[in-house]
Chains A and B, each alone.
Chain A
Amino acid sequence: MTTLLEKGRLGKSLAEYGIIDMHAHLGRWSVPWQDSSAEHLIRAMDQSGVKTSVVSSLECAGFRMEACNEVMYQALRRYPGRLLGYVYVWPGDPKAVRAEVERRLKQGFAGIKMLILMGYDYLYPGYEPAFEIANERRLPVLLHTYGGQKGLDEVPALSSRYKDVSFVLAHAGAQKVEEHIRVANECGNAYLELCTSTATYRAVETLFESVPLERIVWGADDMPLNMSHQLGKVLGAEIPEEAKVQILSTNARRILKHALK
């Protein structure tokens, strides 16, 4: 049998594994790419055979919440099954947040995305309606939690308040990996997502040895990052083959079971 490592080394398709990317983006941003369309992301997925990406929009990140989500909605309609959506939330107006989240979930979005870089910490009251809805419906919430930046320390309080949310903590293992390990072990509903440009040496192995395997998921952060590059972290990790499949597919399917029916 050809292993995942061997397939990656040879550039062979991984389509048989049903890989789920828990962290992707659409839209223009400060990093240039020639085309901002969903087709571009699908093309990156097809290079290696990634089945589904859960996406949010970066291009309007900040105050253009509705416009961001509209970009997403149009893409989700074009690629059902290949793209799932996070509702991007900007917490300036709590009433608008509740209305926008409810509207987009009716349209088929699968979760919620929050970005601490917008200048509001995750305990800011404007986010509460989104967390409440996510908790009621048992949805995943993707949080930007780069090691050493703000955001991660707020997760334990959120986790105990919203016990039915699956908190997907982006960029685990990029740096200060021990902080993500501490939070994951403290919060039973926290999932560590692996994307980072740095490919930090042995980060996947360290997480595998330190947190329950079912709480590690894979994401690419493409765009702007490179999906095939991000795959290499898991394909090349010195962990069992079954664990790689669990990280690339099984764990995400459990989190997204409401959306993958």
Chain B
Amino acid sequence: MIDLFDAQAGFGGARPGQPWIPTAEELLGHMERLSIARALVRTDFEEMDGNVPLSNQILYETCAKHKSLVPCPTVLPATCDDVPPEQEQINELIGNGGCAATIRPGHDSWSVAEWCSGRLFSMLEERRVPVLCRQAGFEFEAIADLAGRYPALPIVLFQVGYRPQRLLLPLMKAFKNVHLAIGSPYSVHRGIETLTAQVGAERLLFGTGFPSADLMPAITMLAYAEISDSDKRLIGSANLDRLSGGIRK
């Protein structure tokens, strides 16, 4: 059985008009049922999350209680002095066992342009902290620009649909630091096979998409893929372990 480390999961957020607030316990229940060993977790849903320091604190406290949950806190530029300085945010992430950082410039109202967030990305790159980006919140041009300016910064796209495949493939070919989490809605005919052949399995990370999505579809997409077992193991957990192991503490 392939060891699975979910790079695309979360809990603790809410959506307008929706009473359900997904919990860590719900995620853990699914992980046990489906034999997912670990999950890199963000605050999700993000729609009503307006207090990043508080959400991160809750995330750290929850992950401290469950060794299979690894925090992926939100970071943002400290341009307005309303959040701790960038260095402090990154130190806190590493000190709490974080394996990656989430950025949500659209939701948190900032820009990945150099004049706005150059300091943040310089520090993330220097420490080799993987950065998770929800693709739906970005233009591909902005992702390419970011990847080009910070070539040692591991960028992990998630929530990529089936329609942008003509953009995703050349982006990943052009920028070796761009990775893809294969969770929902990435349901693409021979998507894993194509990307494995053209950019390499080491650029793909298993992910589910919980709480927006069921967890099992990403599992079967990987389990039945026409790739080698060693490539499945890379995607299942080894790639995320490699990226997180590269963080300079």
A contacts, CB < 8 Å to B: 5, 8-11, 30-34, 40, 43-44, 47-48, 197-204, 222-233, 235-237
Q: Is the CB of B162 within 8 A of A236?
A: no
- CA gap between A203 and B216 in the complex, in Å: 13
Query: Chain B binding site: helix, strand, loop or mixed by DSSP?
Result: loop
- CA gap between A244 and B165 in the complex, in Å: 31
The 8 Å CB contact of B213, one of A40, A198, A228, A231, is: A198
Closest B-chain residue to A200, C-beta based?
Answer: B213
Q: Is the CB of B214 within 8 A of A31?
A: no
Q: Is the CB of B190 within 8 A of A228?
A: no
Closest B-chain residue to A174, C-beta based?
Answer: B185
Can you sample 7 A-B contacts with CB below 8 Å?
A: A33-B189, A197-B162, A197-B187, A202-B214, A222-B189, A229-B218, A236-B216
Q: Is the CB of B216 within 8 A of A235?
A: yes
Within 8 A of A (CB), among B152-211: 161-163, 165-166, 184-192, 194, 209-211
B34 within 8 A of A: yes
A232 CB to closest chain B CB, in angstroms? 3
Q: Is the CB of B189 within 8 A of A233?
A: no
Within 8 A of A (CB), among B205-244: 209-221, 223-226
For B223, the chain A residues whose CB sits under 8 A away are 8-11, 228
The 8 Å CB contact of B224, one of A11, A197, A200, A225, is: A11
Q: Is the CB of A226 within 8 A of B214?
A: no
For A226, the chain B residues whose CB sits under 8 A away are 187-192, 221
Given A31-B162, A232-B214; A224-B189 close (CB under 8 Å):
yes
For B91, the chain A residues whose CB sits under 8 A away are none
For A201, the chain B residues whose CB sits under 8 A away are 210-214
Q: Is the CB of B214 within 8 A of A203?
A: yes
- CA gap between A34 and B165 in the complex, in Å: 12
For B192, the chain A residues whose CB sits under 8 A away are 226
The 8 Å CB contact of A199, one of B163, B187, B189, is: B187
B28 CB to closest chain A CB, in angstroms? 15
- CA gap between A30 and B167 in the complex, in Å: 12
Shortest 6 CB-CB distances between A and B: which pairs?
A236-B216, A11-B223, A232-B217, A232-B220, A228-B224, A229-B221
